[in-house]
């Protein structure tokens, strides 16, 4: 087989579909998929592809497109495939499926939470079940406290993802229930009120030794419990601990804490409650009372499974099914939800929409399609393996969805004004395609009647004194007084330009801002529309006082 034409063809296709830059790995993958026998010649394939990609990437985009059209015009458009994600079956679904999302309202949901939200949603839809949104808003630690605005931010993010919650429940509304079941444990002799300082408690647990309070009589424990509820004890003075095996191989399982005192103001209940249940206790009770059948949670919470089972056995309750998954992380994201909220409070970030937060709100603002997030997240399935990938994987899914519908426009950062000397007097309007692959979309009109246009300073500095083509317009010798040469499409460098001084700010994912001019056609773009700035990338437009702000999505 002659490898060079095959490599040339797929290098051209990859370049045409991805803004004029072919990727070697993608081209090699295409070749190997079409011709598996070439795997035995992998070294040769790599060498040939490297050469072809270098040659193709050196060509202007119009030349790439022309050559590919001659080879195989069907490759000019990206093949659209319906993505089907089939999750493995859940066990024991005969009596129906009820699942729950349990976000802690300390801030907005970010990209790392999508696995939790979308796996639950997909399973409930698969079995025509019921999905509960249960705000896990008890106060368990000093550092982690519910935030009032987080409730709405979480619901907004879930709505944007298309997650259908059938009922909304707040743990903070169910404190009386947790108190009732906590009292049952104490009266049954299964728990006790411990007055050991935290460091003593930890030392006993590590050595597997019982503390002096473990064998306190039941009546005394119940009396201390009521004193806890009445506010007699201060924060850190007492906790309620479950009696487990103090010789258990996992020290963390030994006499776990079930309730502790926290003097914090809650955004929904104020200072009404001081005694707060910990996660495994409240969930052992609620998973039973709310009728949850299948519990989907991160693999880091396996010990919570064991605690729930232990408590169910004490109360004689049926067990539920557990399904675990690994964490999903983007290499570009470094923040936790709580840390992100603190950084917003400090003014490090402008708010939950700041692109550096990676919240669902920030993705929304950047023009990421929620279906792309769903495809990206569910593509990893249900696996115990932690997943850390580059954001390019998400962007690839998004590009498939928005490329065909995003109109093209010019934007020039750091603009330089140039005057077109020798422009024909009757050349007043230039028509450029709204989309290069969708002819029926029509064209946009750019006004060149003044003979003044703007180009990016970077392009001006790189090409001053040389003949270049103003894309979709004409050829000029570039300078502040640019000499008009012709309308002929030549095989020369092509640069972006603007016919107008429409002020545009492009907010990049790292928080930096590009400022410049956009073409006059941008004035007709609606706020919220996703467009593509040619040679720059996709962005979502927001209009306001002072001009246009474009939130950059990706190339």
- 83 within some domain: no
134 strand-pairing partners: 169
Domain ranges, residue 58: 3-76
**Residue 258 CB coordination number (10 Å):** 24
- 306: domain CATH number is 3.40.50.620
Shared domain for 138 and 268, answered yes or no, is: yes
Shared domain for 97 and 72, answered yes or no, is: no
Model confidence pLDDT, tens digit, residues 44-94: 889 899 999 999 999 988 889 889 888 888 888 765 444 446 899 999 999
Shared domain for 243 and 127, answered yes or no, is: yes
- pLDDT computed for residue 543 by the predictor: 93
Q: What is the 3-state secondary structure (H, E, C) of 412-447?
A: EECEEEEEEECCCCCCCEEEEECCCCCHHHCEEEEE
Question: How far from the centroid of its chain's Cα atoms is residue 538's Cα?
Answer: 17
CB 208 within 8 A of CB 246: yes
Shared domain for 430 and 291, answered yes or no, is: no
Model confidence pLDDT, tens digit, residues 392-444: 999 999 999 999 999 999 999 999 999 999 999 999 999 999 999 888 999 99
- Over 90: is that where the pLDDT of 25 sits? no
Percent of the chain with pLDDT over 90: 75
Q: What is the pTM of this model?
A: 0.83
- 295 within some domain: yes
- 305 within some domain: yes
- 528: domain CATH number is 2.40.240.100
- pLDDT computed for residue 82 by the predictor: 46
Q: What is the number of structural domains in the chain?
A: 3
CA distances from 524 to 143, 435, 497, 553 (A): 48, 16, 18, 20
Shared domain for 497 and 413, answered yes or no, is: yes
* Residue in 210, 217, 218 with CA at minimum distance from that of residue 255: 210
- Give the chain's mean pLDDT: 92
Determine the Cα–Cα distance for residues 179 and 383; give it in Å rounded to an integer.
36
Shared domain for 22 and 126, answered yes or no, is: no
Min mean pLDDT across 45-54, 153-162, 172-181, 330-339 is at: 330-339
Work out whether strand 275-277 and strand 167-170 pair parallel, antiparallel, or are unpaired.
Answer: unpaired
Determine the Cα–Cα distance for residues 297 and 212; give it in Å rounded to an integer.
36
- pLDDT computed for residue 44 by the predictor: 86
Determine the Cα–Cα distance for residues 417 and 456; give it in Å rounded to an integer.
9
* Burial group, residue 316, by CB count within 10 angstroms (0-12, 13-18, 19+): exposed
Sign of the alpha-carbon torsion through 327, 331, 334, 335: negative
Shared domain for 71 and 103, answered yes or no, is: no
Shared domain for 14 and 156, answered yes or no, is: no
- 373 within some domain: no
Shared domain for 63 and 113, answered yes or no, is: no
Shared domain for 67 and 214, answered yes or no, is: no
DSSP helix/strand/coil, 491: coil
The DSSP element (H or E) to which 208 belongs, if any, is none
């Amino acid at each position: 087989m002659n490898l060079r034409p095959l490599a040339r063809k797929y290098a051209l296709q990859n370049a045409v579909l991805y803004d004029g830059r072919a990727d070697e790995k993608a081209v090699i993958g295409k070749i190997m998929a079409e011709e598996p026998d070439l795997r035995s010649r992998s070294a040769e394939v790599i060498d040939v592809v490297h050469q072809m990609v270098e040659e193709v990437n050196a060509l202007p985009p119009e030349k790439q497109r022309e050559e590919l059209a001659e080879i195989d015009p069907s490759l000019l458009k990206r093949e659209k495939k319906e993505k089907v994600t089939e999750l493995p079956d859940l066990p024991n679904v005969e009596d129906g499926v009820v699942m729950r999302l349990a976000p802690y309202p300390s801030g907005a949901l970010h990209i790392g939470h999508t696995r939790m939200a979308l796996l639950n949603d997909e399973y409930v839809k698969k079995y025509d079940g019921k999905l509960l949104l249960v705000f896990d808003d008890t106060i368990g630690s000093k550092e982690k406290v519910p935030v009032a605005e987080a409730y709405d931010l979480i619901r907004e993010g879930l709505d944007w993802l298309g997650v259908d919650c059938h009922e909304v429940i707040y743990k903070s509304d169910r404190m009386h229930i947790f108190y009732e079941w906590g009292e049952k444990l104490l009266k049954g002799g299964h728990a006790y009120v411990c007055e050991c300082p935290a460091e003593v408690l930890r030392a006993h647990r590590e050595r597997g030794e019982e503390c002096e309070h473990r064998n306190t009589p039941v009546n005394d424990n119940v009396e201390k419990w009521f004193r806890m509820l009445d506010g007699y004890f201060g924060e850190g003075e007492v906790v309620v601990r479950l009696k487990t095996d103090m010789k258990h191989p996992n020290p963390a399982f030994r006499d776990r804490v079930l309730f502790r005192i926290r003097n914090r103001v809650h955004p929904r209940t104020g200072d009404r409650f001081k005694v707060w249940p910990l996660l495994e206790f409240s969930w052992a009770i609620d998973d039973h009372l709310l009728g949850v059948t299948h519990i989907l949670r991160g693999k880091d919470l396996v010990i919570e499974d064991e605690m729930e089972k232990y408590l169910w056995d004490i109360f004689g309750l049926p067990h539920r099914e557990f399904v675990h998954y690994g964490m999903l992380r983007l290499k570009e994201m470094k923040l936790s939800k709580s840390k992100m909220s603190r950084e917003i409070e400090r003014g490090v970030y402008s708010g939950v929409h700041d692109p550096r937060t990676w919240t669902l709100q920030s993705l929304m603002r950047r023009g990421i399609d929620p279906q792309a997030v769903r495809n990206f997240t569910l593509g990893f399935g249900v696996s115990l393996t932690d997943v850390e990938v580059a954001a390019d994987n998400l962007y690839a899914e998004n590009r498939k969805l928005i490329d065909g519908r995003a109109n093209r426009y010019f934007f020039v950062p750091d603009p330089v004004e140039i005057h077109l000397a020798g422009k024909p007097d009757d050349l007043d309007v230039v028509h450029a395609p709204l989309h290069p692959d969708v002819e029926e979309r029509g064209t946009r009109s750019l006004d060149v009647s003044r003979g003044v246009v703007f180009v990016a300073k970077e392009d001006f500095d790189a090409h001053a004194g040389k003949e270049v083509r103003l894309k979709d317009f004409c050829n000029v010798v570039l300078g502040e007084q640019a000499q008009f040469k012709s309308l002929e499409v030549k095989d020369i460098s092509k640069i972006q330009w603007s016919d107008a001084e429409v002020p545009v700010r492009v907010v990049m994912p790292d928080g930096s801002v590009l400022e410049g001019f956009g073409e006059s056609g941008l004035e007709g773009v609606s706020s919220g529309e996703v467009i593509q700035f040619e040679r720059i990338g996709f962005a979502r437009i927001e209009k306001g006082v002072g001009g246009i702000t474009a939130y950059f999505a990706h190339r």
